[in-house]
Amino acid sequence: MTKPVPDPPLSPQTSTTFGSCNGSHDPLFAVRAGVSSEDALIHTSTLLKSAYQTNAHACERIDAEVRGLLWAADAAHLSRAIALPSLLL
Out of 25-29, 42-46, 51-55, 71-75, least confident range: 71-75
Looking at residue 46, its pLDDT comes to 92
Out of 5-14, 26-35, 40-49, least confident range: 5-14
**Cβ(72)–Cβ(53) below 8 Å:** no
DSSP 3-state assignment of 86?
Answer: helix
19 phi-psi bin (left φ>0, alpha ψ -120 to 50, beta other): left
CA angle 28, 29, 35 (to 5 degrees): 165
Looking at residue 13, its pLDDT comes to 65
Q: How do strand 16-18 and strand 29-31 relate by DSSP bridges? A: antiparallel
**Residue ranges per structural domain of the chain:** 36-88
User: Helices 64-73 & 37-59, crossing angle to 10 degrees?
Assistant: 160
Average pLDDT, the chain: 81
pTM of the model: 0.63
